[in-house]
Amino acid sequence: MATNYTLPLVLHLILTLSLISVVSSVSEKDLLLAFKSSIEDPNSSLLNWSPNSTQYCNWTGITCSSSSPPSVTSLNLQNLNLSGEISPSICQLPNLHNLNLASNHFNQPIPLLLSKCGSLVTLNLSSNILWGTLPDQITHLSSLKELDFSNNRIQGQFPLSLGLLNGLQVLNLGGNSFSGTVHPPIFRNLSDLVVLDLSRNPSLTSKLPTEIGELGKLRVLLLQSSDFYGAIPESFQGLHELQVLDLSQNNLSGGVPKGLGLGMTKLVSVDLSQNMLSGSFPSDICYGRALVELSLHENSFSGSVPESISKCNTLQRFQVQDNMFSGNFPPGLWSMSDIVLIRAENNRFSGEIPDLVGVPSRLEQVQIDNNNFTGRIPHSLGRMHAMYRFSASLNGLNGNLPENFCDSPVMSIINLSHNSFSGPIPEFRNCIKLVSLSLADNRFTGNIPSSLAQLAVLTYIDLSSNDLSGEIPPELQNLKLALFNVSYNQLSGSVPLYIITGLPASYLQGNPGLCGPGLPNACSVLPKRRKSKNSKLLIAVVALTMTAVLVILTVIIFAIRRISQRKWSSSAWKPVLFGSLGISEDEILMALDDKNIIGRGPFGTVHVIELPDGDFVAVKKLMNLGVVSSKRVKNEIKTLAKARHKNLTKLLGFCYSDSVVLLIHEYVKKGSLGDALFRSELPLEWRFRLQIALGVAQGLAYLHTDYVPHLLHRNIKSNNILLDEDFRPKLTSYGLDRVTGEASYQACLASELGSFCYIAPEHSCSKKATEQMDVYSFGVVLLELITGRPAEQPDSRESVDVVKWVRRKINMTNGPLQVLDPKVSNSSQKEMFGALDLALHCTSIMPEKRPGMAEVVRTLHCLQDVIEPPMISSVE
């Protein structure tokens, strides 16, 4: 007790000795510690806020003035996962100008006592869980310029007194639960406002205050997704500085005021979409000469869009979809130099797409479905190489598709269904990113181009209801199709097995000439006639004579399906089990469904199945087969199964039919190294990571040199390395090329996104797979272990190949240090550098410079000896 009192006493003494500066700095520190003491900090972000350290200006989030003594001017603790109580003790910091606690988990009403922070200039409490009402007292913060309470759960009306904060420049109350009316007088004093955001308050049922139109400095006005109703005030014309106007998703009605946009020369974006606005096109908006985005979609506008729209030559995004616009679509819009997006679907526009010869275009996306467009697709459209979506379904477009229609290398969605196109479908070769192609319900003739099979990511193809003839190209089995609707054409010949087993039969209906197992027409004679030019006639004859047979067959097939409830009948399956699993192949087949899929790859899906004894097995379903004979498949899998090593997943058995092989593996619970990397769950101790690397290397060395016949893995990547509970790695998916056949294997590999950087650079120019390619892939995995970074970021477009990233870093001073995963303790640096050196050798551009796997194992062993006493490692 006594000591507790002596300190203040001494301080008081010092104070009286007029060393005021010292006192004020001591107490600033105490105030901060008091603030910290009421906060919960699960990540220990405020670890350095320690009573021992006197340099509180260096603490996380603190900024001090450069005066002497320094004084706290700013407290910025955003996004640190803090919770607990916001203590008003900080309001005693005399010079606190900026307080930012945004993006934390503070769950409390807005602290009333914050109103004592009289010197605050900016206050940011956005993205917390603040609730209750906005207190009147907030207006005591008379110096406030920026107030951000957005994305909380604040309720009630805006207090009228908000209008007293007359220095306010930013007012953001968006994303809360405010309700009632916005009282117009609030804005009379806020003449300095630059940003006003009242968006996303669904219970804010209010008219738009006329006064907002008098805020002459306003640049950003966001009022979307609330419940504003009534007309847009005429006064909004006065917002000359406005750059962004978003009134979308409200209940506004009436017209758009004449003159809106007239003086708004800086306007960048107008969004009036999803209201009930009506009337004709607000042509004055175009006078905002810097307009970049115009969204009027989902309203009730009618009439036409004037050609004068093309005067807004900075316009990039034009969105008027879901209205009742009619008349000629302004042709000038297509040739505007900056236009990137045109969305006009679901209107009644008419007119043609003009030929834009010699116009450089940035156009990326066009959606004009469900209008009354006519005429042809001009050749010039194919030269727009930024185009990634073109959809014009449900119009009256006609003529042939130009040869170059799909030349844009980024094109991914095409929908021209329900038009009157005719002629052949051109060869699509250059749009290698095409995902979805719909040409349904036109009058296309000729064959299905086999070049479609070259478009590796093509997944949805709808060619139904045309006049296509010929066979379904067998090459299409290279694609991973989710939709392939060719119903109601004149196709003939045998259907590739993969399409029959993988896709619903309804996709093929309405083509009496098609045949294959499971189809009404069973193909017994037809394949021989494939070369016959006159096959149509023959098919007609055959079809006639077989009609009766077909009916019977259909009935039988229906019956079979109902019994087996499966696309295949299990009698076609041949099981080979090594040892007893206590489960039959029928039970395995029945257990395969979408719910137990744990992985999807280019070769097929992986399911996990529980055995009667409670154990689990992983079942890998390989598709796209039919190239290798069943007998050979069986022998090859037996070869794979005989490879037994502690770092390979054990193959327990397999079943196969004509088109599918099921590989039954032991199930490794912890998931793959790839998962661990992606979730940042790699072990933090280098010892464990090295153990993983060594295990993988040993497994590979076994395949390459010890096992006879020598095997290549060919698909080493972190997703194919499974980890058991003790972080012991097991390789999976090895040698699948032997099962699928080389061509299918290559096609599958090529279609696999996100694993290009595991593939050795020489792969593209050499046909033959080599051990060195495996070594390269291993080097990439080793780099992942060293850096803690996935080799490729799966969802970022400009993903950085880890090999390139590391090489670039290493060339900088201090680079090698930056490469090491900072989460691993510094004490392992030496060993990690050793591993880095090895990884760089493995990933040499020149294959002959790469070490063999046996040498890799030796090197890793040495690195391990450095870490562990030899005694322990020799137990391994």
Ligand X SMILES: *[C@@H]1O[C@H](CO)[C@@H](O)[C@H](O)[C@H]1NC(C)=O
Q: Which residues bind ligand X (CB under 6 A)?
A: 42-43, 50, 52, 55, 57-58, 78-81, 100, 102-103, 124, 126, 146, 148, 163-164, 166, 170, 172, 185, 188-189, 227, 229, 251, 348, 350, 369, 372, 374, 393-394, 415, 417-418, 436, 438, 440, 460, 464-465, 485, 487-488, 506
**Could you write out the DSSP letters of every residue in 599-651?**
EEETTEEEEEEE-TTS-EEEEEEE-S--SS-HHHHHHHHHHHHH---TTBPPE
- Terminal Cα distance for the chain, rounded: 60
Nearer to ligand X, 93 or 315 (CB): 93
| Residue 361 · residue 338 · CB < 8 Å | no
Task: Count CA atoms closer than 13 A to 35's CA, side-chain side.
Answer: 23
Minimum gap (Å) between residue 751 Cβ and ligand X: 20
Minimum gap (Å) between residue 464 Cβ and ligand X: 3
- Tell me the C-alpha distance between 278 and 275, whole Å: 9
- Tell me the C-alpha distance between 778 and 132, whole Å: 57
Minimum gap (Å) between residue 380 Cβ and ligand X: 22
- In 10 A of CB 308, how many CB atoms? 14
Stretch (H or E) spanning 593: none
- For residue 189, the 8-state DSSP code is S
Nearer to ligand X, 181 or 506 (CB): 506
Minimum gap (Å) between residue 50 Cβ and ligand X: 4
| Residue 781 · residue 718 · CB < 8 Å | yes
Handedness of CA 688, 691, 695, 696 (dihedral sign): positive
Nearer to ligand X, 96 or 664 (CB): 96
Which residue has 């990137």 as its token pair? 340
Please work out, in degrees rounded to the nearest 5, the angle formed at the alpha carbon of residue 232 by the alpha carbons of 226 and 236: 110
Nearer to ligand X, 172 or 295 (CB): 172
Minimum gap (Å) between residue 516 Cβ and ligand X: 18
Nearer to ligand X, 371 or 740 (CB): 371
Q: Which amino acid is at 273?
A: S
Nearer to ligand X, 176 or 647 (CB): 176
Handedness of CA 730, 736, 737, 738 (dihedral sign): positive
Nearer to ligand X, 387 or 703 (CB): 387
Nearer to ligand X, 368 or 863 (CB): 368
Nearer to ligand X, 281 or 488 (CB): 488
As a three-state string, the secondary structure of 3-69 is HHHHHHHHHHHHHHCCCHHHHHHHHHHHHHHHHHHCEECCCCCCCCCCCCCCCHHHCCCEEECCCCC
Nearer to ligand X, 214 or 586 (CB): 214
Minimum gap (Å) between residue 831 Cβ and ligand X: 26
Nearer to ligand X, 290 or 457 (CB): 457
Handedness of CA 568, 571, 577, 580 (dihedral sign): positive
- Parallel, antiparallel, or unpaired: how do β-strands 651-656 and 661-666 relate? antiparallel
Minimum gap (Å) between residue 521 Cβ and ligand X: 19
Minimum gap (Å) between residue 171 Cβ and ligand X: 9
Nearer to ligand X, 254 or 582 (CB): 254
- For residue 704, the 8-state DSSP code is I
| DSSP reduced 3-state for 790 | coil
Minimum gap (Å) between residue 597 Cβ and ligand X: 22
Measuring CA to CA, how many Å separate 650 from each of 588, 668, 725, 777? Answer: 18, 10, 16, 22
Nearer to ligand X, 87 or 103 (CB): 103
Minimum gap (Å) between residue 344 Cβ and ligand X: 13
Q: At what angle do helices 802-810 and 771-787 cross, to 10 degrees?
A: 70
Nearer to ligand X, 48 or 630 (CB): 48
| DSSP reduced 3-state for 23 | helix
The neighbouring-strand residues paired with 207 are 229
- Tell me the C-alpha distance between 840 and 808, whole Å: 12
Nearer to ligand X, 139 or 740 (CB): 139
| Residue 23 · residue 14 · CB < 8 Å | yes
| Residue 291 · residue 268 · CB < 8 Å | yes
Minimum gap (Å) between residue 873 Cβ and ligand X: 31
Minimum gap (Å) between residue 55 Cβ and ligand X: 5
Please give the radius of gyration of the chain, using alpha carbons only, rounded to the nearest integer. 35
Q: At what angle do helices 20-37 and 2-16 cross, to 10 degrees?
A: 140
Minimum gap (Å) between residue 352 Cβ and ligand X: 10
Minimum gap (Å) between residue 219 Cβ and ligand X: 13
- Tell me the C-alpha distance between 147 and 192, whole Å: 13
Nearer to ligand X, 313 or 793 (CB): 793
From the list 564, 591, 592, 588, the residue with the least C-alpha distance to 577 is: 588
Minimum gap (Å) between residue 483 Cβ and ligand X: 7
Length of the chain as a residue count:
876
Which residue has 């005693």 as its token pair? 92
- Parallel, antiparallel, or unpaired: how do β-strands 729-731 and 661-666 relate? unpaired
Minimum gap (Å) between residue 329 Cβ and ligand X: 12
The residue number whose beta carbon is nearest to ligand X equals: 163
Alpha-carbon dihedral 781, 783, 787, 789, rounded to 10 degrees? -40
- Tell me the C-alpha distance between 272 and 276, whole Å: 9
| DSSP reduced 3-state for 735 | coil
- Tell me the C-alpha distance between 619 and 863, whole Å: 36
Nearer to ligand X, 311 or 561 (CB): 561
Minimum gap (Å) between residue 421 Cβ and ligand X: 14
Measuring CA to CA, how many Å separate 666 from each of 105, 427, 588, 651? Answer: 43, 45, 14, 7
Please work out, in degrees rounded to the nearest 5, the angle formed at the alpha carbon of residue 852 by the alpha carbons of 846 and 854: 165
Minimum gap (Å) between residue 427 Cβ and ligand X: 21
Q: At what angle do helices 853-867 and 829-842 cross, to 10 degrees?
A: 170
Nearer to ligand X, 327 or 761 (CB): 327
